[in-house]
Amino acid sequence: MSSFSPRVSSASLSSQPSIGRTHCAMPLPPSSFGIYSLSGAESRRRLWHMAPGLLAVPLQLVPHRDPLSATLWWIIMSVIAAVTTHIYLRFRRIRRNAEDLGTSAISGYAVAVLLTIVLLPDRLEVGLGVLAILAFGDGSASLFGQMLRGPALPWNPGKSWSGLIAFLLVGGLLTAWIYWGETQNPEAQEPALDFTRALLLTAPAVAACAVIESLPSRINDNIRVGLTASVVLSLLSLCR
């Protein structure tokens, strides 16, 4: 999935692997794997897309009320708003050719997380799970799709198997870890989950988002993945 716009992660299947330089124009067979370099702008794009996922880490270290206290709620909202504004004001530095100003991509990312937290204040693990899927699942699909490439997906020649697999593996493990970590909050109302249970609960949501992200669509990846993650994780959380 792509960070703040439709992703070309797995789309560029025609360049040669290169180290320390931009992609070469000589075409390669679609099945060719390699280590491809990213431009400075694309590297920043990956960083800015994945870094917000780290916001979940402090919440795993500090006990907090469940449901969220007004103070913590405003802190979370303020941090997300600040990060979103920072990225929006600097989006031109990571903007791809023929891309808009990033409004749909950035707002799709932020709104999915914010709305889930607002609507489910007593299930913060769901909101953080949505954040993890967007940051690490979608972000990894773009990162590994661009860096490794390989065979294109049969249903979408613009994306690759390497991106889809990265979404499932990296996104699956980190989403489960963040979801599990929030359930360990000593002030949580519900019993803590073990990691295996957290993985089983979140894996279907990650898989659904990976498939949705891989489909051809004019709707920005962040909107599609964020909405899917919010709905599916919310439903799965009822199975605790």
pLDDT tens for residues 183-227? 999 999 999 999 999 999 999 999 999 999 999 999 999 999 999
- Is residue 9 one of the residues assigned to a domain? no
Question: E strand or H helix at 152, and its extent?
Answer: strand 152-153
Tell me the CA end-to-end span of the chain in Å, nearest whole number: 28
- Is residue 15 one of the residues assigned to a domain? no
pLDDT tens digits, 68-107: 999 999 999 999 999 999 999 988 888 877 677 788 889 9
Cβ proximity of 201 and 234 under 8 Å: no
Q: How many domains are contained in the chain?
A: 1
- Is residue 224 one of the residues assigned to a domain? yes
Question: E strand or H helix at 153, and its extent?
Answer: strand 152-153
- Is residue 21 one of the residues assigned to a domain? no
| Cross-strand bridge partners of residue 152 | 160
DSSP readout, 208-228?
HHHHHHHS--SS-HHHHHHHH
Residue 143 lies in domain: 40-239
Question: Is the bond preceding 67 in cis, omega lying within 30 degrees of 0?
Answer: yes
pTM beyond cutoff 0.75: yes
Which tokens go with 72?
A: 């913590």
